[in-house]
Structure 1
């Protein structure tokens, strides 16, 4: 059965899509296919390739404005996760009791596929891609969507996958109400995006735990037993789904754990035990042991053979912009971790690098607390090169913990400064802890410019 009752939301009438990015355009195409009168509205300018898609589908749209009187006539609104709850238009829609939902919520009504849903402050993309590649390698007919890949809604409209692996952000979860995950995964929860949650970490935790809402006893909930915020959330949020925890700190009967000799053990009911040495994993670092445990549990639930799991976990190559090896120049290693947009991601990056580090840090600060990085910076970081417009908080946080903190005027300037500060055997690590949109279009643009500047050295 579909993961939402098809009678919960209007099944016809006027459907407005707010935001004409990947998810918005996919939603519009699916909605038109299902018989809705569709209109797409974007406050910004719509990318040309999305306009071509909308024109080909003969879907009406506007850009550079929201025509409020037209939008407030909607029977159903699907909004971009980037539009916050406190936006005046969203407030006005809710005051008129017009349902405002996420693309994932809308599209889930129209598929019977199994939905594997992965969230967390860090490691979402790596775990999602590893899971997808593992299932694909094992011969499953699997789609990849959510925060990554093609629009879920577009795939529901045009593909017939048996299972989807969905990377889900808290912003998406905020607009999901009736959706049900067959397998829900919470990797970890650390303070992030608190500007969207009244600067209260418990609100952010509650958002992440929307992942398990509506689950039944036939579903699975996979989570990190070692994560303090997840432990706190578990006290407030309950599910009938089977719990499969993963941990590096204790032994569990069902779930995944690490032995004293660094073997990953995965056990689920009615299945044979999976064992793999951590040194055999293609992804290094403590955080990637957690990511592999989560993906391994999903694979066992999906009844993959142990050999197929091992083949994927030993050969997987990480996604771009996540601890991506760029080059070794003059004995200095350059790593692109542009996707590290919060402090916890940077902690994982620093933890996984064994050489002295020249750290490239900065951008749009989201209220970061750098305290958790202090010991790693003291012990591992030779110098910090700041990128972005305002790096006052970085200077204040680390002035006593590293010998040198310098500002840069561009990515090219930052890479050149880092190359001069680094010594043979060091690593230059771009791991910014911040959003990118002061100097760059997005974290991909930031990472691409870093790679280009490195190759010019």
Structure 2
């Protein structure tokens, strides 16, 4: 069996290692450059590879193809493969049959990384032999090849879910859905929503789907679609006989006739959106029969995720917060919503079809100045130009932070929450967040 892998990054190389171990004839092809550390792994494992090109003769003879999530279906080589009816899978689909571990799959437009990390933290703290992967950390396929985990917590992007056929998690979570990556879905929101719901398409009556019952897109989907999985909703406003909710500042969870309650003041994560992430993760812990005392302890000592509302430093009584992971409007909405002091907001980058008007009421209420950090800021300026007193454009992070310091006063917050992708000025959102933190430390 010939396995061709498009993309020589984390998921590609992980799949290559698993494929080789399972006896496939493996070939890795990357249209760009393969990073040095990944090249070394391919060479040590005697796996054939190429970079800066896709040689069609070496690709179109595949029995199966694993495509990295970053490569769109519209790319010419993928079109040719599909025309020849060669199966094109995601790493998750390829790797899943090679493990009998319990899989917890987490998707959503926002909150999925925090929910994934928190779920993993809850299960690991309880002594479970559990792996963490998917969209974060070491690739799932690589772990299936090298480790013997009893369960996996996987963060799954819509792109990874687009490439599944038979994959099913025992427990699935949809944290929320808001418009994102619409450039990959023909600018049709419903295509993106359907893509997220692929997480439950193969689930049976023995499986579970945990979801945000306050979310409009999710609620609408359920009006015209069904899933076989047992439903476990969570909400900030409604209550359920089976599900999770907040009532009188207590998180209450009822699953399979078992109750769990915890005072929200004792949960380490702050903000309404994080209460939702905590409810989702705790629902998993309850399904996995983790002891209540362990759950309480883990929820109270969880450290949070880097680049997500991360407090960097307080300088001259101004708090600097790194929310570089906010790559869409919905994530920035949560960030602004949790601000309790006048805010200098650093925003901008590669716009994926954003509607900034959703932020209007929050900007009017909380934002005193906007610093645009992007190559093209026209849209942001058009929307908010008349709303705030100060609007400034900068082209690098040092200028953004220095300008923010100048515009802020004692008691203010400087918030980097870009609502956009980072690729115009930075390598990725981590690079953007790290540059912000460094610039703050240099003040």
TM-score by length of 1: 0.96
Offset, 1:409 = 2.2
Instruction: Give the SS at the match of 2:98.
Output: coil
> 2:280 corresponds to which residue?
294
> 2:227 corresponds to which residue?
239
2:243 & 2:387 partners in 1: Cα distance?
39
Offset, 1:405 = 1.0
Matching residue within 192, 195, 199 for 2:180: 192
Q: Does 1:410 align with 2:403?
A: no
> 1:428 corresponds to which residue?
414
Q: Is the 8 A contact 1:45 1:64 kept in 2?
A: yes
1:162-189: CA deviation from partner (whole Å, max 9, x where unpaired) = 0000000001111111101100110100
Q: Is the 8 A contact 1:42 1:63 kept in 2?
A: yes
Q: Does 1:345 align with 2:331?
A: yes
1:155-213: CA deviation from partner (whole Å, max 9, x where unpaired) = 00010000000000001111111101100110100000101111111111000000101
1:233 & 1:411 partners in 2: Cα distance?
40
Matching residue within 19, 30, 37 for 2:7: 19
Offset, 1:390 = 0.5
> 2:22 corresponds to which residue?
34
Offset, 1:232 = 1.3
Query: Quick check: 402-411 or 95-104, which moved more?
Result: 402-411
Instruction: Give the SS at the match of 1:208.
Output: helix
> 2:126 corresponds to which residue?
138
1:409 & 1:168 partners in 2: Cα distance?
33
Q: Is the 8 A contact 1:209 1:237 kept in 2?
A: no
1:252 & 1:59 partners in 2: Cα distance?
53
> 1:167 corresponds to which residue?
155
- RMSD after superposition: 0.7
1:242 & 1:218 partners in 2: Cα distance?
7
TM-score by length of 2: 0.99
Q: Does 1:372 align with 2:344?
A: no
1:37 & 1:409 partners in 2: Cα distance?
47
1:233 & 1:111 partners in 2: Cα distance?
31
Matching residue within 125, 136, 142 for 2:113: 125
1:71-130: CA deviation from partner (whole Å, max 9, x where unpaired) = 001000000000011111111101100000000000001000000000000000000000
> 2:254 corresponds to which residue?
267
Structure-to-structure mapping, 1:275-290, within 5 angstroms: 275-290=261-276
Structure-to-structure mapping, 1:25-174, within 5 angstroms: 25-174=13-162
1:366-404: CA deviation from partner (whole Å, max 9, x where unpaired) = 110011100000000010001010100100111122111
Matching residue within 199, 205, 229 for 1:211: 199
1:217-249: CA deviation from partner (whole Å, max 9, x where unpaired) = 110010010000001122233211110000111
Unaligned runs of 5+ in 1: 1-12
1:435 & 1:58 partners in 2: Cα distance?
36
2:315 & 2:354 partners in 1: Cα distance?
32
1:344 & 1:180 partners in 2: Cα distance?
27
2:225 & 2:75 partners in 1: Cα distance?
28
1:330-373: CA deviation from partner (whole Å, max 9, x where unpaired) = 11110100000000000001111211100000000111001110
Instruction: Give the SS at the match of 2:295.
Output: helix
1:253 & 1:436 partners in 2: Cα distance?
43
Unaligned runs of 5+ in 2: none
Query: Quick check: 75-84 or 274-283, which moved more?
Result: 274-283
Instruction: Give the SS at the match of 1:109.
Output: helix
> 1:308 corresponds to which residue?
294
Q: Does 1:336 align with 2:336?
A: no
Q: Does 1:456 align with 2:435?
A: no
> 1:9 corresponds to which residue?
none
1:53 & 1:118 partners in 2: Cα distance?
29
